Structure 1
Amino acid sequence: MTLAEPASRTIGERVAEEGALIVSGHDRTGIVAAVSTVLTQAGANIVSLDQHSTNPADGTFFQRTVFRLHDLAVVRTELEKALDRELADGLGLQWRLVESDQPKRMAIFASKTDHCLLDLLWRQQRGELKANVQMVISNHPDLAEKVRWFGVPYFYVPVKDGDKKTAEEEHLRLLAGNVDFIVLARYMQILSGDFIGGVGVPIINIHHSFLPAFIGAGPYQKAKDRGVKLIGATAHYVTEDLDEGPIIEQDVVRVTHADTTRDLMRRGADVERLVLARAVAWHAEDRVLRNGNSTVVFAS
């Protein structure tokens, strides 16, 4: 017995491919109508539509429209011409068309801590992410065997004698043309502005976030010593300002005086995994739209 392709993907002998149209720009009347008209005239069926305006009177408009269109890859050029004519020239909007069936290429940077790294590899293996891990890059050799078990190339690039520039040049060589975004899965090195600018793709980071914040070594012990009641994690895009880039996702878990430092570390690792996985999944599905140093996240 063979399993047929799901009926929702094929009508007759033509493949109905999924696309996502991302639109942003100055809010004004007629944007939703224009998007719908262009897609309808191209023969697309709109599956979902999310939109947001920072201020309906004079704000910035964001929209993500998911649609299905027969032979999208074939008709894409004509569709792009229509989008340019109606959205860019006609309404002054920025737009981006994505073929959703094509997974994004992801690189993961890690050091010695493995919980976020292995969670992402496991989720990719289970098909939970619209992304393929192309490589793992680390400044330590410790996780090589664990990563190779998933069939993913592992590159050990040490920072010798504090020479971060040479290491980052090797990173850029490995990444050039091979990835669409990067994830820092507890990578314990600060990226230089030259690297961030030179790599040319979005970078997502994860870090713990306590109230109050505890920076430096031993944050969980500091949190225990202060009697914190909440621990959490923040996933954000990387900018040259350390840990101050646009936030994608956050979450917290409640703890008590009875929790040991080890308990806090375990619960912190759990929330870091979940927050990073959600951020990566949403980015890979083009659900995260940047708005200055903030984000609009269509996560429904």
Structure 2
Amino acid sequence: MTLRPEYILTLSCPDQRGIVHSVSGFLAQHGCNIIDSAQFGDAQSASFFMRVHFAVEDSAVGETVLRAEFAILGSQLQMEWQLHDAHHKPRVMLMVSKIGHCLNDLLFRYKSGLLPVEIKAIVSNHTDFYQLAASYNIPFHHLPLVAGASAEAKQVQEDKILDIVSSNEIELVVLARYMQILSPALCTALKGRAINIHHSFLPSFKGAKPYYQAHERGVKLIGATAHFVTSDLDEGPIIEQDVERVDHAMDPETLTAIGRDVECVVLARAVKWFVEHRILLNGHKTVVFR
């Protein structure tokens, strides 16, 4: 069965009257039927955000026509906009070090059809998960980086990362517990298309064994944060967060297990929302249409 053309339009622009009317009117005039629509006007930034999922029901209207003619409306309303093929599965690269729970979770969701993506590569500075990658028939790239590596060695390693991104036409890079700090240059190259996951204890519990530190302080909530990668370490625009309640009877290993479960769920949500084009940047924040 031939799938009818469907697209997802995302946009942001200065807030003003008539934006929804203009967009819906444009789609109606071009033989399109809206399947789902969400919008948000941010009073603080005076900006308007919108996501529209629609089907093209007029066979005479193609993507080229839609793009060319919507560009006129976009210019009139000072829009930043993107048009995505709703049937396209974005190409994803996963990066991991020696802790594999997020990697394993994403691979299972991918194989089960719960994540509409194509995972084209797994990159690691260790070899721990090459067999896991092979079991999913996904190319595994071992790019070692020894402790205390020079800036030149780090540059060589990151150049190889970018080569993999380029050769596979990667649209999203997921740091699934990749325990290396990306250089400012790599962060810039991946701006808006790289997601990281970390425990929500930052900055309170930095460094090694955060769950052990949290246990020593008797925390009652543990959680995780997924955010876009920027050169400001762990300070990129937040996409998703969640927490679980814990208590005094739990040892550090139990806290660690609970925390890792939360990390998996939070990262999976962020990845799913990204590939479904539900995340729009709003300065240092995000608008997420769920």
- Report if the CA contact (8 A) 1:211-1:230 is conserved: no
Distance 1:258 1:211 in 2: 23
Alignment match, 1:176: 166
Distance 1:60 1:223 in 2: 39
Alignment match, 1:29: 17
Letter in 1 for 2:145: V
Secondary structure at 2:118 match in 1: strand
Q: CA deviation at 1:129?
A: 1.2
Distance 1:101 1:234 in 2: 28
Q: Is 1:114 matched with 2:100?
A: yes
> 1:7-48 deviations in whole A, cap 9, x for unaligned?
xxx6xxxx4222111111101111101101111111111011
Higher deviation after alignment, 105-114 or 126-135: 126-135
Alignment match, 2:56: 69
Alignment match, 1:166: 156
Q: Which runs of 5+ in 2 are unaligned?
A: none
Alignment match, 2:89: 103
Q: CA deviation at 1:283?
A: 0.4
Higher deviation after alignment, 240-249 or 207-216: 207-216
Q: CA deviation at 1:70?
A: 3.9
Distance 1:245 1:126 in 2: 30
| Alignment match of 2:4 (pick from 9, 16, 30) | 16
How many residues in Structure 1 have an aligned counterpart in Structure 2? 285
Q: CA deviation at 1:71?
A: 7.5
Distance 1:37 1:240 in 2: 41
Distance 1:118 1:109 in 2: 12
Distance 2:281 2:163 in 1: 27
Distance 2:105 2:266 in 1: 11
CA separation of 1:17 and 1:184: change in aligned 2, threshold 3 A: same
Alignment match, 2:256: 265
Alignment match, 2:68: 81
Distance 2:189 2:42 in 1: 31
Q: Is 1:198 matched with 2:189?
A: yes
- Which residues of 2 match residues 85-164 of structure 1 at below 5 A? 85-88=72-75, 90-160=76-146, 162=149, 163-164=153-154
RMSD of the TM alignment (CA)?
1.8
Q: Is 1:59 matched with 2:46?
A: yes
Distance 1:261 1:172 in 2: 37
Distance 2:264 2:230 in 1: 21
> 1:49-82 deviations in whole A, cap 9, x for unaligned?
10001119x7100000010114889701111122
> Normalising to structure 2: TM-score of the pair?
0.94
| Alignment match of 2:210 (pick from 191, 195, 219) | 219
CA separation of 1:32 and 1:43: change in aligned 2, threshold 3 A: same
- Report if the CA contact (8 A) 2:30-2:61 is conserved: no
| Alignment match of 2:177 (pick from 175, 180, 186) | 186
Distance 1:206 1:189 in 2: 13
Alignment match, 1:239: 230
Distance 2:136 2:197 in 1: 22
> Normalising to structure 1: TM-score of the pair?
0.91
Distance 2:122 2:190 in 1: 15
Q: Which runs of 5+ in 1 are unaligned?
A: none
Distance 2:88 2:60 in 1: 11
Distance 1:249 1:242 in 2: 17
Letter in 2 for 1:25: C
Distance 1:213 1:133 in 2: 34
